[in-house]
């Protein structure tokens, strides 16, 4: 009775039985009981049997979850592991793995015409390919536009096997990827030449088979010729080395040949067939495409209608970029804002051809007569381009109407020439833009 009063009237806790004390880790006074019970001290309300039961339940849950995941549940890496270890039922459960969703079109070719602002577009494409993640395929061959049959097949093979979505760019005449398209196209040319009154909607374009979508830009033929003439001789604001490397064998008297003398005295550089330059890029690889005449002109027009999504005009480059952004947003999204960036403008100013002069009116008129097929094609493309602009609500940014000239050619200095078309290492030029 006295002991009960010392504990506040309550009952004393029952002492541990000897077996429990031994299981706890030794006899009294050894201090091992508390140390041995430390793993269970976090859950003092559980007995050892309850603790084992909880661990067993957790293990069963983990195993059940693992079997569930291996039989169709997430995560994906376990499904991939099962697929590698044995896929006897993988395709039955899940079907074939999903294919990469490609934009349309996923194959674009820019067979850029020389001295038509293609350097600007290539520079923009390098930036856009980094930004949008498409495959920009370029070529180290710059001066071979006419290809043999074997070279055509090899190039078509290389283009067709590129990772999609891709945009291939090179100075090369049009390549027809369809095997029988050449025969059909010749039949259509014959029909059109003998039925001049037949109507044709220039906005209707068809793309079939593995034929990629083509884009291009052209400019006033005389302006293009003069730009190339002086660039080969004097280069641009980046220095003398550019043109000296490209024309190392040019004699001094040829380098400083007056443009009027070249035209009026009918030097080879200033006469046909070298003046017949733009049309072959759209006519194709047929030998007759290199001969100035109606056949090459009509073939080029038909190819523009059938295979080119857009052929723009360099004099209206901002509108060209705007239409490209609308037609091919997965390639050209934000292209206009990049083009108007002051850093890009500064780089473009370095490549304007220097020492360019205007020929006399007589010489210009002679050039126009020699390039009459080029001008007929140029104005045909220009009309189509303006038709597209009207369909999309764009107004032409032209100071005054420009009717087809008979005795007048716009001054070569009026055409904005943002950049030249020769391939070079652009890493230094792109460095500042990539840091934006």
Q: Which among 263, 262, 77, 284 is positioned nearest to 173, based on CA atoms?
A: 284
Distance CA 107, CA 164 (A): 7
Instruction: Cis check for the bond before 165: say yes or no (omega within 30 of 0).
Output: yes
Degrees to nearest 5, angle at CA 147 with 142 and 153: 110
Give the Cα separation of 317 and 417 in Å (integer).
10
d(CA 105, CA 92): 32
Catalytic choice (7, 76, 142, 171):
171
Residue 86 CB-density burial (10 A; 0-12 exposed, 13-18 middle, 19+ buried): exposed
Q: Are 419 and 351 in contact (CB under 8 A)?
A: yes
- Output DSSP code: residue 289: G
At residue 263, φ and ψ (nearest 5 deg) are: -80, -50
| Cβ neighbours of 178 (radius 10 Å) | 14
Annotated catalytic, 171? yes
- Catalytic residue numbers? 171
């Amino acid at each position: 009775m006295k002991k009960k009063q010392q504990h506040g009237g309550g009952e004393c806790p029952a002492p541990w039985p000897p077996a429990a004390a031994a299981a706890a880790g030794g006899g009294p006074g050894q201090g091992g009981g508390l140390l041995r019970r430390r793993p269970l001290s976090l859950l003092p309300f559980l007995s050892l049997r309850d603790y084992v039961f909880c661990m067993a339940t957790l293990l069963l849950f983990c195993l059940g979850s693992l079997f569930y995941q291996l039989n169709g549940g997430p995560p994906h890496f376990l499904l991939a592991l099962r697929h590698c270890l044995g896929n006897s039922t993988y395709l039955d459960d899940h079907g074939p793995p999903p294919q990469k969703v490609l934009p349309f079109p996923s194959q674009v070719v820019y067979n850029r015409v020389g001295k038509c602002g293609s350097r600007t577009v290539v520079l923009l494409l390098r930036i856009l390919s980094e930004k949008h993640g498409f495959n920009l395929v370029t070529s180290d061959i710059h001066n071979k536009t006419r290809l043999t049959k074997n070279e055509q097949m090899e190039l078509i093979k290389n283009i067709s096997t590129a990772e999609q979505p891709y945009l291939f760019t090179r100075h090369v005449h049009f390549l027809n990827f369809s095997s029988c398209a050449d025969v059909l196209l010749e039949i259509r040319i014959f029909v059109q030449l003998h039925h001049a009154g037949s109507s044709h909607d220039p906005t209707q374009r068809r793309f079939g088979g593995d034929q990629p979508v083509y884009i291009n830009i052209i400019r006033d033929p005389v302006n293009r010729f003069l730009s190339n003439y002086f660039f080969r001789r004097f280069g641009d604001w980046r220095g003398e080395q550019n043109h000296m490397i490209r024309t190392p064998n040019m004699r001094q008297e040829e380098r400083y040949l007056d443009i009027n003398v070249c035209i009026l005295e009918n030097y080879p550089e200033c006469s046909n067939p070298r003046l017949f330059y733009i049309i072959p890029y759209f006519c194709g690889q047929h030998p007759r495409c290199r001969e100035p005449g109606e056949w090459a002109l009509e073939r080029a027009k038909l190819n523009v209608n059938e295979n080119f999504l857009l052929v723009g005009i360099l004099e209206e480059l901002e509108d060209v970029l705007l239409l490209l952004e609308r037609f091919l947003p997965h390639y050209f999204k934000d292209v206009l804002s990049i083009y108007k960036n002051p850093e890009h403008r500064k780089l473009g100013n370095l490549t304007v051809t220097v020492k360019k002069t205007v020929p006399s009116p007589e010489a210009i008129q002679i050039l126009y007569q020699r390039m009459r097929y080029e001008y007929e094609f140029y104005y045909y493309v220009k009309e189509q381009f303006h038709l597209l602009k009207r369909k999309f609500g764009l107004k032409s940014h032209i100071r005054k109407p420009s009717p087809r000239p008979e005795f007048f050619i716009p001054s070569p200095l009026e055409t904005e020439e943002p950049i030249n078309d020769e391939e070079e290492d652009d890493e230094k030029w792109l460095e500042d833009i990539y840091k934006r």
